[in-house]
Amino acid sequence: MILSERFQQVLVEAKSVCVLTGAGVSAESGVPTFRGNEGLWSKFKPEELANFDAFIKNPKLVWEWYAYRRRVIGEVQPNPAHAALVDMESLFQDFTLVTQNVDNLHTRAGSKHVIELHGNIERSYCINCRRPSNEQITEENIPPRCSQCGGLIRPDVVWFGELLPQDQFMRAEAAAERCDLFLCVGTSAVVYPAASLPLTALEHGAYVVEINAEYTDLSSRVQETLLGKAGIILPQLVHHLKMAHTGGL
């Protein structure tokens, strides 16, 4: 991959970097993305399953989706895109990793500080008493019930129409506002307010680079789109940075 002169300069000189990741970052691990897939659950739009009304109407169906995804996630490993983002944490003075993913793969790869905007699929809680649940959830015992009060257990993720964890979102916004370089990786950038973060970075003068397997609605607004797989491109950026730091460039 050939990086533009301008991007090479920004990459090497950046002091503050913010990265927003989406499902495309985990695609090479074998985790299906939300939009434009084939397969078992592709007949449902995420809007149809990832909302509270759908859960109350059919908790078994929604839990079947989550139980399937929990199983897939448990069987896969972080990929070179996750690993490159672990490396980046130590290559910049100020580095913020923000993810929309609930799969915990950034943390499993070794990233130390991850802002999880849409929750984490490994956690769940009771919709009645709000206690975190540690019930064993398998594809056989769904929908799970709270051992304390009998209420329905739900995954600790953010569904459509629900507020994002405000402390996490405020930290993400602050990072987008102060960064010199913003990388938007493997996201269709259609789900708000996460999709506002690259726009916030642009408004505050950051250089915004999208890394995606295809063009998105964001592509026409950012300085550059690098088309390709995150698991190929991100390690190349890290290689470039390490060469620059050791004087090899």
Instruction: Provide the annotated active-site residues.
Output: 118
| Smallest gap from residue 228 Cβ to ligand BJW (A) | 7
User: What CA–CA distance (Å, rounded) separates 218 from 234?
Assistant: 19
> Cα–Cα distances in Å, from 62 out to 55, 74, 77, 146, 179?
6, 18, 24, 17, 38
Give the pairing type, strands 153-157 and 119-126. Answer: antiparallel
| Smallest gap from residue 74 Cβ to ligand BJW (A) | 15
The partner residues of 154 in beta bridges, in order of sequence, read 125
Residue 92 vs 159, nearer CB to ligand BJW: 159
| Smallest gap from residue 193 Cβ to Zn ion (A) | 29
| 198 lines the binding site for ligand BJW (CB under 6 A) | no
| 148 lines the binding site for Zn ion (CB under 5 A) | yes
Residue 51 vs 128, nearer CB to Zn ion: 128
| 24 lines the binding site for ligand BJW (CB under 6 A) | yes
Q: Contact 198/184 with Cβ under 8 angstroms?
A: yes
- Residue 44 CB contacts under 8 Å (≥ 6 apart), including other chains: 65
Q: Which positions from 118 through 177 interact with ligand BJW, judged by CB under 6 A?
A: 118, 157-163
33, 128, 196, 223: which one contacts Zn ion (CB under 5 A)? 128
Count Cβ atoms below 10 Å from residue 26 Cβ, excluding itself: 29
Which residue has the closest beta carbon to ligand BJW? 24
Binding residues with ligand BJW: total (CB under 6 A) = 33
Give the pairing type, strands 94-99 and 207-212. Answer: unpaired
Question: Residues in the site for ligand BJW, rule: CB under 6 A?
Answer: 22-24, 27-28, 33-35, 46, 50, 100, 102, 118, 157-163, 186-188, 190-193, 212-214, 216, 229-230
